[in-house]
Structure 1
Amino acid sequence: MDTLGSPPWSMLCALGALLAALWFAGRALAGAWLGPRRVARALRSQGVRGTSYRFPSGDMKEYVRLLAAACSQPMPLSSHAVAARAVPFDHAIIKQHGKVALTWFGSEPRVVVADPQLFREILSSKQGQFGKQRSILGIERLLANGLTTHQGDKWVAHRRIINHAFHLEKLKRMLPAFADCSSELVRRWGSFMGPGDAQEIDVWPEFQNLTGDVISRVAFGSSFSEGRTIFRLQSEQAHNAVKMANVMYIPGYRFLPTKLNRRMKANAREVEVLLKGIIMKRERAMKDGYADNNDLLGVMMESNIKESQEAGSSKPMMTIDDIVGELKLFYFAGMETAAVLLTWTMVVLSMHPEWQDRAREEVLRVFGNNQPDFEGINRLKVVTMILHEVLRLYPPILLLGREAYRETELGGVTYPAGVTFALPIVCIHHDPDVWGEDVDEFKPERFAEGIAGASKNSPAFFPFGWGPRICVGQNFALLEAKMGLSVILQHFLFELSPSYTHSPCPVSTLQPQHGSQIMLTKL
């Protein structure tokens, strides 16, 4: 029984709850109100310009508004000035505030960096002061907990193992899969028409299916049909991830039991079950001496065992869960990179038939009507120039993000820990200060002497990133694109269909908003 003058337990509990709520509210206020203002004052005092912080959403409303407006109308048919459509908010900020500008995603300070030298410095850092954005790592890990999400020693170990899988000698062993898939594509297209006939085809979904088939065969070899099921599920995950990205700055949203979250988790579980089944079946075949390890899975598992033995460990460096994560990442990274590259190359060569003619002349001179081979593909100078220029104008990676893990100096400015950096590759690729006043024109001759001499500010060509974390599969994507384009040039002339609308639009990559309708004529 309470003594006279002593507060009842219910009152004490209520008081404790009130104090706890006030403490959490104070922390939230400090994070969403006082913290951003301290960061803004510190950076402005050092000369960094940018937007003013608006509680609580920062620049998110303007970001969403500009993105919606950018894709509301098509571009002029012959224009390649895509930066304002691809990253409209960052493009506008750079024009208004310069190549280093402070913006706000919610209460998160976000510095846009479009200076090539600072871009390289951030991505080349080996001291650990810059790392992946922690605010988006959760979503990335749900999609594919692989090389791009790892940090520190785990990243080093995985990168070393995966490098073996993408060595040029290993890629040569994968070339027959590239050739078979490309040949099947042109045979199917050719079945729609006779010699000299013209047929409209939307090449965007065609190339998505092509790259899906290539990945499934290259990754799993004889388990091709299971690979296609995984490809379908991972394709759905990629589209769902784009929807998730629009709300990722709402704290805790990805943990809510929404329909989208439930679907993504169910897909992730199904993919993991399928992949683990394939891996365990391959492990048994390797132990019995029956495995053909010419595919990506086999090469990766062989490299994993070899690296573990060289390190003197009885346990593999990569667990089954680790291999699952890397294979899921391979799907995400590979299924659209080559597809968008081939799509925009077909579109651009339809706009510039003189370069299409030069590319076809080179392909026929090197291969005739024979199937392209590895040695010949490496001699395709004109085709390589064209692909590099398409990658400059329509880069598959539009923007990279990094976070300052500790207080760090960059370009004479000291940034506090927690500041994130947006690195808009597409803006650097379309910067006249870097590439000249003809920056938005299609001129493959820029790359006649290679990548190093193509820009004024060398190097400034970043289609696959830069530094230690540059895309490990870039040679794979380029080899796949060269094979696909060569086979198409051997069999077809092509031009834009009257129904084509030039509307590059940012999704997970820069994709044709209304398809890529091409008129094919059989040679």
Structure 2
Amino acid sequence: MELHLVEICFTLAFLGFTSLLVHLYYLLIWKPRSLRSKLLKQGIKGPPPSILYGNIPDMKKIQSAMVTTIETVEQTQQHHHDCFSKIFPYFKQWIDEYGPMFTYSTGNIQLLYVPCDMVKEIGLCTSLNLGKPIYLTKDRGPLFGHGILSSSGLQWEHQRKIIAPEFYMDKVKGMINIMVKSATPLLKSWENQIEAGGGIGHVKVDEDLRSFSADIISKACFGSNYSRGKEIFLRLRALQKIMSGRGLLIGVPGLSYIPTKNNKEMWNLQKGIRSLILEVVKERQKEKSEMDLLQSILEGSKNGELGRYSADDFVVDNCKNIYFAGHETTTTSASWILMLLASHPEWQTRVRDEVIQACDGCLPNVDTIRKMKMLTMVIQEAMRLYPVAPFVPREVFADMKFGDIHVPKGVILWIPLLSIHQDPTIWGPDAHLFKPERFAQGIGNACKPPQAYIPFGIGPRVCVGQNMAMAELKIILALILSNFSFTLSPQYRHSPSFSLVIEPRYGIVLLIKKI
């Protein structure tokens, strides 16, 4: 009897082990090879991958070889903004080798790098079979979870119906006063630093801008303020830094579950952020509040359309998404804009004169920011050169066709937003230079084709917060320009880097004077 049980156990163990091997073979070898084969038959080539890591070793090798060159160029070409080839040299090398469309892999994830002429069709696709990649909820899960930034299908559709209306223009108009008031501590801080410096302030502006944006998103969307949500923002920032430190290691099976030092730290941060958000929610549930974003999310978590997604998870993940996207992206854009205006004093003067004339001695409001055409041009050009997100990823959840290309289920479309924004064949030989005048006649006349300018994404998944972001940028820049003049500090080092967003590696340091 005992021998019979041993044989059964051995057989079950053998079957389990065999099943595991078959699954790993399918996951690591057969599936990626099958997807590559289907693309290769259409003439789409790419660098040969390794098992388990895909092309990650190649990407690291190419990137390492570029480090010395990049550091030298950064100090000599501050007015030349070709950050794509500096940050992503492997893509530049593969474009030269395989053409504008090629396939590559990270871990067991198969990606298709797509050219600009394919972007329009992707943007026009409204099918729920095209959505955000699954890896976002796995590899980036601690930061994004299953919120609006990372979910797909019916889950995303439900979230967008709840969240998007809170960022319509009529709602954003009601946030303008909050934006102006939130800028007061920043302006006062800079005045104090100028006074302490004998007429010149030495300011690292991105840190102050981060607090400003965090205060706005807290007040406008969550009915609190930055001081109450400060710990949430600090932990989200720490989580972002850890994740960006993992670099290219996306799609390697099991990596997110290994109890490494970084993973343990991420898990602790994730747990802490969850607790802090649920505390905010608990306080909200005790009081009667006007309908804002948080209230809409709470209502949306009760309607029974969540499936296996718990109400708490729904609330926490979407709050994390809005907290992160609502302050980090605007902070980064404003920082780059101030750097560009500091580097181009003629444009700084022109925009300042426009702002002063539009405001006519008053604080900026909805009507006055509409008149700031040159400021809008500067923002648009800055977001062309330094878009917050350098890529737009989309996963194909069913076999689909874009143009003449058949894309098999499981492939991730990798839209190189940053590369398209700086392509000389689209924008001309001055594509890497700061020239806001290219937007003088609007976006439609700035480039051909129009899908070559997509700082807020494309298609149905275009950024829900773009109206708020543009208004916030105009308000803070108008207030800064009407109160201060500024130049780049000798301490400033021009070093764009990728940390989930395109941000200045060493911050933006300015020398500021009061007007």
**Fold match (TM-score > 0.5):** yes
Q: Give the counterpart of 1:461 among 449, 453, 464.
A: 453
1:284 — aligned with what?
A: 286
Separation in structure 2 between the aligned mates of residue 459 and residue 203 of structure 1, nearest angstrom: 32
Q: Give the counterpart of 2:399 among 391, 402, 407.
A: 407
Deviations 1:346-376 (Å, cap 9, x if unpaired)?
1111111111111101000011342111111
The letter of the residue matching 1:252 is: G
Matches within 5 A, 1:264-279: 264-279=266-281
Separation in structure 1 between the aligned mates of residue 103 and residue 136 of structure 2, nearest angstrom: 19
Is the 8 Å Cα contact of residues 275 and 324 (structure 1) preserved in structure 2? Answer: yes
Separation in structure 1 between the aligned mates of residue 285 and residue 15 of structure 2, nearest angstrom: 57
1:490 — aligned with what?
A: 482
1:155 — aligned with what?
A: 156
1:330 — aligned with what?
A: 322
* Inter-CA distance 155–13: structure 2 relative to 1 (3 Å threshold): closer
Separation in structure 2 between the aligned mates of residue 159 and residue 38 of structure 1, nearest angstrom: 34
The letter of the residue matching 2:506 is: H
The letter of the residue matching 1:504 is: P
**Local SS of the residue matching 1:146:** coil
* TM-score normalized with structure 2 length: 0.90
Q: Give the counterpart of 1:260 among 254, 259, 262.
A: 262
**Local SS of the residue matching 1:370:** coil
Matches within 5 A, 1:373-522: 373-522=365-514
Answering whether residue 29 of structure 2 is matched by residue 33 of structure 1, we say yes
State which drifts further: 86-95 or 184-193: 86-95
Following superposition, the deviation at residue 12 of structure 1 comes to: 6.2
1:57 — aligned with what?
A: 53
* Inter-CA distance 30–155: structure 2 relative to 1 (3 Å threshold): closer
Is the 8 Å Cα contact of residues 204 and 509 (structure 2) preserved in structure 1? Answer: yes
Tell me, which stretches of 5 or more residues in structure 1 are unaligned? none
1:297 — aligned with what?
A: 294
**Local SS of the residue matching 1:401:** strand
Following superposition, the deviation at residue 30 of structure 1 comes to: 4.2
* Inter-CA distance 128–220: structure 2 relative to 1 (3 Å threshold): closer
Following superposition, the deviation at residue 88 of structure 1 comes to: 2.5
Give aligned-pair identity as a percent.
29
Is the 8 Å Cα contact of residues 129 and 153 (structure 2) preserved in structure 1? Answer: no
Separation in structure 2 between the aligned mates of residue 259 and residue 34 of structure 1, nearest angstrom: 32
Deviations 1:92-145 (Å, cap 9, x if unpaired)?
2223212211112123321111x2231232243222332221233224443233
1:167 — aligned with what?
A: 168
1:130 — aligned with what?
A: 130
Separation in structure 2 between the aligned mates of residue 69 and residue 206 of structure 1, nearest angstrom: 35
* Inter-CA distance 124–357: structure 2 relative to 1 (3 Å threshold): same
Q: Give the counterpart of 1:217 among 212, 216, 219.
A: 219
State which drifts further: 466-475 or 77-86: 77-86
Tell me, which stretches of 5 or more residues in structure 2 are unaligned? none
The letter of the residue matching 2:119 is: F
Q: How many pairs does the alignment contain?
A: 505
**Local SS of the residue matching 1:494:** strand
Q: Please report the RMSD computed on the Cα atoms of aligned residues, expressed in angstroms.
A: 2.7
Separation in structure 2 between the aligned mates of residue 26 and residue 166 of structure 1, nearest angstrom: 48
Following superposition, the deviation at residue 152 of structure 1 comes to: 2.5
Is the 8 Å Cα contact of residues 199 and 520 (structure 1) preserved in structure 2? Answer: yes
Separation in structure 2 between the aligned mates of residue 333 and residue 68 of structure 1, nearest angstrom: 30
Following superposition, the deviation at residue 489 of structure 1 comes to: 0.3
Question: Between Structure 1 and Structure 2, whose CA radius of gyration is higher?
Answer: 1
1:85 — aligned with what?
A: 86
Matches within 5 A, 1:235-246: 235-244=237-246, 246=248
State which drifts further: 500-509 or 67-76: 67-76
Separation in structure 1 between the aligned mates of residue 166 and residue 99 of structure 2, nearest angstrom: 41
Is the 8 Å Cα contact of residues 123 and 466 (structure 1) preserved in structure 2? Answer: yes
* Inter-CA distance 70–375: structure 2 relative to 1 (3 Å threshold): farther
